[in-house]
Amino acid sequence: MDDLPTFDGRLSARPDDLSLGSLAIRSRVFLAPLSGITDVPFRRLVRSFGTEVVYSEMVASGELIRNDAESRQRAGADGLGLHAVQLAGREAVAMRRAAEIVAAEGADVIDINMGCPAKKVVGGLSGSALMRDLDQALRLIEATVAGAGSVPVTLKMRLGWDRSSLNAPDLAVRAEGAGIRLVTVHGRTRDQFYEGAADWAAIAAVSRAVSIPVVANGDLQSVADLATMLQASEADAAMIGRGACGRPWFPALVGGHLDRDRMRQSFGDLVVAHYDSMLEFYGQQAGLRQARKHLGWYLDRWEAATGSRLAGDRAELMRAADPALVRARLRSLLGAATLSDVEPDLSTSLRQAA
């Protein structure tokens, strides 16, 4: 593996660094906020590969201001770099107070969630439900900006509620006027959830409507996708969400910041280290629950690289309550494979050898 694939060319016609208040952001590929996924252990792992902008899980503002322990844990810093916290809510007072709390506790960036399509979130009139009420969305933006003080506030949204109401450009313009410093647009409507393909070209309407940086999100799955996404969306940067699941090195690989020597690391060692970090962070019982989804994604990555199927082994690992057994089984299954062996943009050997 002498050469890593990279995007050849500038990511935007705008200056090399994105400015967020006093922050100069060097990287143009971010890790998205993902509920139940971008916790402190995962953020630390992704950041260790060189990704600069890494968002927390969504934090419910109402729960945070009530000092809910899990919400405070989600909002916590990973201690390794820029601290970006995503807030969600439907009440302006709660959003302002939550912004005050995370700003006081050291957040470098505060993001507002107006893109989550989950029924529980939308049913609470937050997330992408706010794209049906731009006046209320604006009130929440103004409150969050006021509470954040000097901390820059960003906004994540979808194209609109459905194809008949693609109002992301209108929301972005209002958001910029209210003090938002950057907007991220997922290239689907709420009605689509994650079905169909992300419409990168539709994001371009937002890029043309505002002067602040625009970040494109949705379906970035390979290094080659980056150039196509940015050209179609006319965006300044890209955000990777589900594409990083089981693939924590991927944002750095796409962004061109990955140390090639790191890809020679044992895949099994990485998986075991991530597993152990979750047990340490959450405690054994909760850590085992949190780890299962990540182990599933790592096994998916292994199956895709080798063409093998691990149904029985997967079931055993999902049920196992003994960390020592899990570690031993993972090392046995994953063998001597390196990260480059299981990365689709790099791997050639495992399937041939299987």
DSSP code of residue 131? G
DSSP code of residue 157? E
Average pLDDT over residues 245-254: 97
pLDDT at 3: 52
The answer on 347 and 258 residing in a single domain is: no
Average pLDDT over residues 227-241: 98
Domain that holds residue 193: 18-262
The answer on 116 and 43 residing in a single domain is: yes
Gyration radius (Cα) of the chain, Å:
20
Average pLDDT over residues 340-344: 92
User: Angle 203-205-208 (CA atoms, 0-180°, nearest 5)?
Assistant: 115
How far is residue 68's CA from residue 50's CA, in Å, rounded to a whole number? Answer: 31
The answer on 194 and 309 residing in a single domain is: no
- Which of 214, 275, 291, 221 shows the shortest CA–CA distance to 253? 221
Full 3-state SS string of 28-62 = CEEECCCCCCCCHHHHHHHHHCCCCCEEEEEEEHH
Query: Which of 210, 235, 262 is at the close of a domain?
Result: 262
> What is the total count of domains within the chain?
2
Residue 190 scores a pLDDT above 70: yes
pLDDT at 16: 63
The answer on 303 and 204 residing in a single domain is: no
Average pLDDT over residues 220-249: 97
Residue 9 or 157, more confident? 157
The answer on 219 and 278 residing in a single domain is: no
Residue 58 scores a pLDDT above 80: yes
How far is residue 75's CA from residue 96's CA, in Å, rounded to a whole number? Answer: 15
Question: Domain for residue 287, yes or no?
Answer: yes
Do 294 and 232 meet the contact criterion of CB atoms below 8 Å apart?
no
Residue 350 scores a pLDDT above 50: no
pLDDT at 231: 98
Average pLDDT over residues 52-57: 96
Residue 17 scores a pLDDT above 80: no
How far is residue 170's CA from residue 187's CA, in Å, rounded to a whole number? Answer: 15
Question: Domain for residue 304, yes or no?
Answer: yes
Question: Domain for residue 1, yes or no?
Answer: no
Residue 119 scores a pLDDT above 50: yes
The answer on 328 and 211 residing in a single domain is: no
- Which of 173, 240, 201, 209 shows the shortest CA–CA distance to 27? 240
pTM over 0.75: yes
Lowest mean pLDDT among 6-20, 38-52, 119-133, 263-277: 6-20
Collapsing DSSP to helix, strand or coil, 84 comes out as strand
The answer on 191 and 310 residing in a single domain is: no
Average pLDDT over residues 70-99: 96
Question: Domain for residue 89, yes or no?
Answer: yes
Catalytic residues: 116
Residue 354 scores a pLDDT above 60: no
How far is residue 156's CA from residue 217's CA, in Å, rounded to a whole number? Answer: 9
The answer on 161 and 209 residing in a single domain is: yes
Query: Which of 262, 282, 299 is at the close of a domain?
Result: 262
Question: Domain for residue 2, yes or no?
Answer: no
The answer on 33 and 86 residing in a single domain is: yes
What percent of the chain has a predicted confidence (pLDDT) above 70? 93
Question: Domain for residue 180, yes or no?
Answer: yes
Q: What is the pLDDT of residues 97-110, one digit of tens each?
A: 999 999 999 999 99
Query: Which of 262, 295, 321 is at the close of a domain?
Result: 262
The answer on 123 and 134 residing in a single domain is: yes
Residue 124 or 214, more confident? 214
pLDDT at 252: 96
Residue 76 scores a pLDDT above 70: yes
pLDDT at 8: 40
Collapsing DSSP to helix, strand or coil, 15 comes out as coil
CATH of the domain at 201: 3.20.20.70
- Angle, to 10 degrees, between the axis of helix 284-306 and the axis of helix 267-282? 160
Q: Which residue has the tokens 């997922």?
A: 186
What's the pLDDT band for 303 if we cut at 50, 70, 90? very high
**Phi-psi sector, 160: left (phi>0), alpha (psi -120 to 50), beta:** left
The answer on 185 and 49 residing in a single domain is: yes
pLDDT at 349: 43
Lowest mean pLDDT among 198-202, 277-281, 282-286, 349-353: 349-353
Residue 7 scores a pLDDT above 80: no
The answer on 273 and 177 residing in a single domain is: no
